[in-house]
Amino acid sequence: MSSNPNWHIDRVLDRPGPFTDEAFVGGQTARDFLQNECKILVIGAGGLGCEILANLSKMGFRDIHVIDMDTIDISNLNRQFLFRDADVGKPKATVAAEFIMRRCPEVKVTPYYGKIQDKDEAYYKQFNIIICGLDSIPARRWINATLVQMVDEDDPESLKPMIDGGTEGFRGQARVILPTINACYECSLDMHTPPTAFPICTIASTPRLPEHCIEWASVIEWPRVFGDKKLDNDDPDHIQWLYEQASERANKYKIEGVTWQSTQGVVKRIIPAIASTNAIIAAACCNEAFKLATTSAPSLDNYMMFTGNVGIYTHTFSLDRKPDCPVCGSETLESDVNGDWTLQEFIDSLIERPDTQVKKPSLLIGTRKLYFQAPPQFEKQTRPNLSKKISELCQAGDTITIQDSAYPFAIYVKVNFS
């Protein structure tokens, strides 16, 4: 074997392959770009992000940035292999960057401990490729919308490829998003499996599973005891209280299996992470980054699904853009509305709608405010509209502007009365 630590990269870049892009320029030119010019951003330094960072550092990428807003918890150590016991409580991005640079001195990793929303377009424009190793749909939606909005037809450098990886137990997916060219993340939003919901009558009267007891503690017992006090899923004291209540109820109904970890998992909708799935999806994401950076092979077109729960099986397909996508589409969304609905019922329909999935929308027509979530004085001023019929507030064919924290820009919905 060669003493050159990059011999495996050189073998790929020194000669074209059977599927190499016509634009491929191998040899030293490709190596120089990969090692000295290409700047790559990794969003997320958790189970998937640790694998991605390790892979990139051994694939020739020398200028890597990483963003993560979390600190290390002891429960992370079984699969997030860049962290050790002494790192508990420290920022994931900082510790991961330091670990990679200790192991690979030729690689520079720049960490940022904070939210992706803290950064502006100028920050994201500096990168050649962005890889997402996130466990949050809202965060994916935000960065996807930001990258789509950044695209300027007169500036080819404004298009930043986004590689998105995600895992769910033994299943996972990797996809390549070329903003405004192929399907964006929002185009596939309605493909996501909705979170498991338990019938309220079951959790209230006839619990049969430990999950029923935990859900009862969080949905029924917490509001009864604490009223309007918000349950904080990240507060260990809150989780402890739920665990104690759920355990007491489980004992009453002779149900086994309520633990502190399961309580946290149910409340936060946590699906157990599998280290091998993270490794497979991270490898797929980094493979796509390498292909995009070097043109040594065609990139994924554009979605790969891994279903490890039924064997080692992958399926690749091309996901089409949606003309009415609120992010990359050119058409205004339409909504068929019962004229007798109140504005609150209309807002509820937007929240439930699979192709918008807004959380706390503010609505206006032109400059006229229908309802604003914030600031408090606007919320108080527009709150009476919630109980009014929507037919009193707008006319058929009106376009309502919707602003929501999930989007870094507004979306537009044309109202049709049915």
pLDDT recorded at residue 197:
65
Q: Which of 205, 241, 207, 203 is nearest to 222 (CA)?
A: 241
Alpha-carbon distance 192 to 256, whole Å?
Answer: 31
Q: Within 13 Å, how many C-alpha atoms sit on residue 380's CB side?
A: 3
Cα distances from 390 to residues 240, 338, 417, in angstroms, run 43, 8, 9
Q: Report helix, strand or coil for 204.
A: helix
Per annotation, catalytic residue among 132, 184, 187, 201: 201
Q: Are 218 and 231 in contact (CB under 8 A)?
A: yes
List the pLDDT tens digit at each of the 418 positions of the chain.
556 777 888 888 888 888 887 777 778 888 889 989 999 999 999 999 999 999 999 999 999 999 999 999 887 888 899 999 999 999 999 999 999 999 999 999 999 999 999 999 999 999 999 999 998 888 898 999 999 989 988 888 999 999 999 998 899 999 999 998 899 998 888 777 666 666 677 788 888 889 999 999 999 999 999 988 888 888 889 999 999 999 999 999 999 999 988 898 888 776 677 889 999 999 999 999 999 998 888 899 989 999 988 888 899 999 998 887 888 876 678 888 888 889 898 888 888 777 777 878 888 888 888 898 888 888 888 999 999 988 888 888 888 888 887 677 778 888 888 7
User: For residue 286, what are the contacts with CB-CB under 8 A and spacing of at least 6?
Assistant: 52, 55, 56, 59, 131
Find all residues with CB under 8 Å of 251, minimum gap 6, and list them.
none
Residue count (the chain): 418
pLDDT value, residue 83 = 94
Which stretches of 253-337 are DSSP H helices?
Answer: 260-267, 275-294
pLDDT for residue 22: 75
> What's the burial of 209, exposed, middle or buried (CB within 10 Å: 0-12/13-18/19+)?
middle
pTM for this structure? 0.77
pLDDT of residue 11: 84
Tell me the sheet residues that pair with 303: 175, 317
* Tokens matching residue 12: 């790929």
Q: Report the DSSP beta bridge partners of residue 383.
A: none
pLDDT value at residue 333? 80
Q: Letter for the amino acid at 2?
A: S
Query: Token pair of 49, please?
Result: 């992000």
What sign does the CA torsion over 268, 274, 277, 282 have?
positive
Give which of 134, 173, 164 is closest to 277, Cα–Cα: 173
Report how far residue 293's alpha carbon sits from residue 175's, in angstroms, rounded to the nearest whole number. 16
CB 398 within 8 A of CB 415: yes
DSSP string covering 140-186: HHHHHHHHHHH-BTTBGGG---EEEEEEETTEEEEEEE-TTTS--GG
Active site residue 286: no
Strand ranges for 253-347 from DSSP E: 303-307, 314-317, 333-337
Cβ-based neighbour number of residue 6 at 10 Å: 16
15 contacts 297 by C-beta, under 8 angstroms: no
Q: What is the pLDDT of residue 196?
A: 63
Paired with 175 in beta bridges are: 164, 303
